[in-house]
Structure 1
């Protein structure tokens, strides 16, 4: 076990669209053990079974899940309130949590949750989200969600992974504009959870130190 009384930051990990907790766990394990040893990671499946073809078919085994459904323009969402309720239930059951980590659809959710929590629209029964780790994220485009999620700047520390060839990169940059304490790891890949090069690893370790200090100060 770690040093006496030291508690690792507990992080709820939200996987990508039409994937699963197991798949995200596999993707995250590309990161060195020296990073993973600093976190207490909890992976949960999204509430809804996959309602169409998954992009990871043939790469990762099913079952696949999705957090909510959306139209082609990503401006209308179905089962969104149920999704928020489900995430809160997971946080009550497996928590308390310090932060969120999300990839793709899970990253879009993770980045919106601190603002929605601040406005009393989500996570009202759990402690405040202290930090977020966003891999391949973006903002919600529906005004009904965006007006609440980003009307105030996202004040908690945030770490963002931006892929050079990620189709969401442009939207990930837009998200950065809403974050007060954003740290960025750039990588040459596309829409994926990348391995960490030396520079990325240093940025990640610095971020870990920062969030651990927050934990210490909150005691």
Structure 2
């Protein structure tokens, strides 16, 4: 319940600073993971709520070539995503191309899930999907639940299937 906090505050400089801190933490985590798992690969992102906003940012930054240290991600799974106008404004400001709409959309395959009983998150998830993702490469699904991770076996199988095989089919179809 209230008060609600956000990872991205309004104001370009504040948001840029928060993104720089976030990227530094993720970069350190990626380097540490690679050192401990030299034969493993990081192939996707999974984010919940504010973490789904952060995952959206990572996918976009990778696509824009802003974070060369991040392994080439193949997909994203975003659950009960929030939406951040501050993040969108900062993305627009960071983007050199300034082709409104086109450069703020992510072309990697993504699965978006939202709880049908999530009165705040469902609209945010739909807005994030419509604003930042290419529709023929992204899939929007709902599950029976609120602002939570899905627990139903069928919903979990959707997530697994997307991570294991479906994202590859979407990627091949769209190339």
Q: Deviations over 1:101-127 (max 9, x none)?
A: 011111110112111122233x31132
Displacement of 1:80? 2.6
The 1:70–1:213 alpha-carbon spacing in structure 2 relative to 1, beyond 3 Å, is closer
Q: 8 Å contact 1:112–1:140 — kept in the other structure?
A: no
Aligned pairs, number:
149
Residues 166-205 of structure 1 mapped to structure 2, 5 A cutoff: 166=118, 167-177=120-130, 178-180=132-134, 181-198=137-154, 200-205=155-160
Q: C-alpha separation between the residues in 1 aligned to 2:170 and 2:138?
A: 15
The match for 1:8 is none
Give TM-score, length-normalised by structure 2: 0.69
Check the 8 A contact 1:92/1:126 in 2, yes or no.
no
Q: What residue is the counterpart of 2:77 in the other structure?
A: 133
Structure 2 residues not aligned, in runs of 5+: 35-40, 96-100
The Cα shift of 1:139 comes to 3.4
Q: Which residue in the other structure is 2:91 paired with?
A: 145
8 Å contact from structure 2 (residues 75, 109) kept in 1: yes
SS class of match (1:126): coil
- TM-align CA RMSD: 3.2
Flag the structure with higher strand content: 1
3-state DSSP of counterpart to 2:32: helix
Residue in 1 aligned with 2:59? 114
Distance in 2 between residues matched to 1:196 and 1:184, nearest whole Å: 17
Q: Does the C-alpha gap of structure 1 residues 161 and 146 become closer, same or farther in structure 2, counting only changes over 3 Å?
A: farther
Structure 1 74/135 Cα, relative in aligned 2: closer, same or farther at 3 Å? farther
Which of 122, 135, 156 aligns to 2:108? It is 156
Aligned partners of 1:146, 1:190: CA distance in 2, in Å?
A: 31
Relative to the length of structure 1, the TM-score reads 0.56
| C-alpha distance in structure 1 between counterparts of 2:129 and 2:7, whole Å | 24
Mind listing any 5+ residue stretches in structure 1 that lack a counterpart? 1-52, 56-65
1:150-174 deviation digits (Å, cap 9, x = unpaired): 7342111111111112212111101
